[in-house]
Structure 1
Amino acid sequence: MSSFTFQDTIPVREGEEVNIERLEEFLRKTIDDFPDEPLQMNQFPSGHSNLTYEVKAGDWEGVLRRPPLGPVAPKAHDMEREYQVLKALHPSFPLAPRPYVFSDDHGIIGSPFFVMERRRGVVIDTDLPESLKSTPEAGKMLSSVMVKTLAELHSLDYKDTPLMQMTKPDGFMQRQVQGWIKRYERAKTHEVPGENELKKQLVEKIPETKEASVIHYDFKFNNAMFDAADPSKIIGLFDWEMATVGDPLADLGVTLSYWIESGDPELLQKGFGKPPVTVQPGFYTRRDVVEQYAKETGRDVENIDFYLTFAYFKLAVIAQQIYYRFKKGQTNDQRFSKFHQTTAALIQHADYISRKGIM
């Protein structure tokens, strides 16, 4: 993966095509004023999970999301839920793209899917855009705006939105810990040293959730889009598949788990590909992120080590689920052939954070 704008698409990868004729027929019936021009489709190349496509006809354009090919883990890749989350959030949090339409008719493209609005800007992943490479304060500026945006999301009043009916904040962390342990057991292919003690520690040390908020739960640089003319502004947040109402510190923990530092173990840095932009000089450390978040929100971050430990474990489970699909022949994507090593590295690092902490 590399830095890209949302104009950067590729032809649809072999084996990941959809029936464009049926899709076009569906969109003409469901989207008002759909142009009388043929539908065209390309694919966004990044990501290891859901498949995302650019769809356009004339001046109209949108983004289609569907689950990965083959069997998927229970409750994972729920397109209808992500669509409903966006529908609930967009009016009060415009960084969440406007959703257009959802369909669970497998006869259209072979799976449930939804279509949302397309945003155009700069997505920063593993490198800075050329326009910022000569700016000494770029890393600090981008880091700060990310933390402020996360704090803004956590300040939303969800009680007046449909999210109240879609989520269960009470007992959130207990369900999360138990649920992700079960996911790991279902996808397990290898014994990893330290995994049993780590799971035991997670179950025994669950902190009390002091307040609930809207959480993205996958908040990281390559899920944010910056204004190309003014990169101090975020103009879009994507991949709301895991969003819910829960413990905001769990969301912060997830962000920290993606916030790789240059001194981290190599397998941690490169487990999902090229290291993210946060390894470059000038970007916040994880400690910096925690300190600014505490100032922005006034929240007590005393237990952040637990949340980061759990976030690393979650990442390990995600890597293992992807590797399980590869090992079972459900995907032939060679990017996933060594993800069991990523799983082991993440579990070992989670164990390290559990014992040593970051604060």
Structure 2
Amino acid sequence: MAARPAASGGDGGRRDGDLDEAAIARLAAWLKERIPALGASTLPEVTRYAGGASNWTYRLRYPELDLVLRRPPSGTKAKSAHDMARESRILERLAPHYPLVPEALAYCADPEVLGSDFYVMRRIDGIILRRNPPPGLDLAPEEARKLCLHFVDALVALHRIDPKAAGLEELGRGSGYARRQVAGWTERYRKAHTGNVPRARKVIDWLQANAPTDAGSCVIHNDFRLDNVVLDPQDPTHIVGVLDWEMATVGDPLMDLAGALAYWVEAGDDPLFRALRRQPTHLAGMLTRREIVEAYCRGMGIPAIPAADWIFYEVFGLFRLAAIAQQIYLRYHRRETRNPDFRHFWLYVHYLVWRCQRILRRSGA
């Protein structure tokens, strides 16, 4: 199968991170030494996945195997979110306990191959939902509800894993996870600050003053979104894989749920929030954020969380999302990436901070 450069931008030009034929040849030689199943194959067909706001991801198609490669982006990076060795190790250790993780096959620390470290995993075949369902996939309301419940079930199953049994206890840092997260995301937001976004002082001060004690400690994904799960092509209400484990750690499970729901845009949300939607959680039959929390509590066998007690988690999830967006925008602001998709991320930051402030005002905080 002939090699070809990874997909370039729509204008025919090359994007940051596209692989040329020399890089593909080096990669193929490296893989052939480490994955015996490749046999006599020479060069893979390489396609770069669209998006890539965090790590860059490529599909490597061989006659024998369908693989996925992940590597860090260029420019300013949050080290914890781009540690390929750590991510690969997490997949390997979770595999016996959580069948939804992709199978990690090989990790490369040698920058001579692609210019950075990377790892390769087996591709999970299925459907990944984006802003809207793909053509031909029409989820009836009862199917949308069933998918939401399976989404919650997948998160509950992860949170029930004993970190020690999975060999991941080293990721934990003891109690105080919520407070550390507030401090960490505050620092990241401030370091990534540019003059065109708010300081968010009131939101930060409130989060620091109201961080709760940990609800528990378990393996958490830290980016558990509907567009990070793979659906069964034969029954799209069932989940067959969970992707993007770069921020997984051991911590408070409610903080994981908070991060997931920051992306959960409902049909009745305001137009600005709906404009930010990146997964089809607005469809008829989809659970509301509140219903997701209730289903999660039932699945975990814990008492229902009063709406007033959930305010911290909701505000934290949105502020964390603002910090992530600002970190990405900083790369564009410094011209470390030319991706035009990042040009307006500073506007997203404005909105997310405003949304946090509105929640606090309405709660009387």
Contact kept in structure 1, 2:263 and 2:278, CA below 8 Å: no
The CA deviation at 1:129 is 4.4
TM-score normalized by the length of structure 1: 0.91
Count matched residues. Answer: 347
Aligned to 2:153: 148
Amino acid at match of 1:17: D
Secondary structure at 2:314's aligned position in 1? helix
**Aligned match of 1:181:** 186
Matching residue of 1:99: 104
8 Å Cα contact 1:77-1:241 kept in structure 2: yes
Q: 2:31 aligns with which of 24, 27, 31?
A: 27
Q: Give the aligned residue type for 1:333.
A: N
- For 1:125 and 1:107, the matched residues in 2 are separated by 34
Letter paired with 1:266: P
- 48-57 or 32-41: bigger deviation: 32-41
Q: Which residue, out of 147, 163, 166, partners 1:161?
A: 166
Deviation at 1:47, TM superposition (A): 3.7
Q: 201, 205, 212: which is aligned to 2:206?
A: 201
Q: 1:194 to 1:349 in 2, by over 3 A?
A: farther
Structure 1 gap ranges (5+): 1-9
Choose from 337, 342, 353 the match for 2:359: 353
Paired with 1:228 and 1:356, the residues of 2 have a C-alpha distance of: 42
| Residue 312 of structure 1 pairs with residue 357 of structure 2 | no
Measured against aligned partners, the alpha-carbon deviations of 1:39-98 in whole angstroms (never above 9, x if no partner) come to 221111134211100112221221000111223134331111111111111111010111
> Retained in 2: the 8 A contact 1:23–1:109?
yes
1:11 is aligned to 7
**Aligned to 2:235, what secondary structure does the other structure show?**
coil
Query: Quick one: distance in 1 between partners of 2:114 and 2:279?
Result: 33
Task: Label 1:161 to 1:338 Cα distance change in 2 as closer, same or farther (>3 A).
Answer: same
User: Cα 1:214–1:134, aligned 2, differ >3 Å: closer, same or farther?
Assistant: closer
d(CA) in 1 for partners of 2:110, 2:289: 43
Cα 1:85–1:354 shift into 2, 3 Å: farther
Between 1:120-129 and 1:130-139, the stretch displaced more is: 130-139
Shift of the alpha carbon at 1:210? Answer: 2.9
Residue of 329, 333, 338 corresponding to 1:327:
333
Q: What is the percentage of aligned positions where both structures have the same residue?
A: 36
Asked if structure 1 preserves the Cα contact closer than 8 Å seen for 2:197 and 2:346, the reply is no
**What is aligned with 2:3?**
none
CA shift, 1:170, in A, is 2.4
Look up the match of 1:115. Answer: 120
Q: Is the 8 A contact 1:194 1:351 kept in 2?
A: no
Task: Report the Cα distance in structure 1 between the residues aligned to 2:73 and 2:228, rounded to whole angstroms.
Answer: 18
Quote the residue 1:248 is aligned against.
Answer: 253
Deviation at 1:193, TM superposition (A): 4.9
Q: Among 278, 286, 293, which residue is 1:290 paired with?
A: 293
Match for 1:184: what amino acid? Y
Supply the distance in 1 between the matched residues of 2:113 and 2:139 (Cα, whole angstroms): 47
Change (3 A) 1:83 1:185: same
Which of 299, 302, 307 is equivalent to 1:299?
A: 302
Structure-1 separation of matches of 2:126 and 2:228:
12
1:258 counterpart = 2:263: yes
What displacement does 1:202 show? Answer: 0.7
Q: Secondary structure of the residue that 1:283 maps to in structure 2?
A: coil
Letter in 2 for 1:156: I
1:339 maps to 345
- Contact 1:39 1:55 (C-alpha < 8 Å) held by counterparts: no
One-letter code aligned to 1:314: R
One-letter code aligned to 1:112: D
Please point out which of 25, 38, 44 is paired with 2:42.
38
Stretch moving more, 239-248 or 144-153 = 144-153
**Paired residue type of 2:293:** V
Q: 2:7 corresponds to which letter in structure 1?
A: P
Q: Which 10-residue stretch deviates more, 121-130 or 144-153?
A: 121-130
Which residues in structure 2 correspond to 1:205-220 (within 5 Å)? 205-220=210-225
**Distance in structure 2 (CA, Å) of the matches to 1:191 and 1:108:** 38
**Other structure's SS at 2:247 match:** coil
SS at match of 2:267: coil
Measured after TM superposition, the shift of residue 246 of structure 1 is 0.5
Instruction: Confirm or deny: 8 A CA contact 1:12 1:42 kept in the other structure.
Output: no
> What letter matches 1:317 in structure 2?
A
Which letter does structure 2 place at the counterpart of 1:37?
S
Q: How high is the TM-score relative to the length of structure 2?
A: 0.90
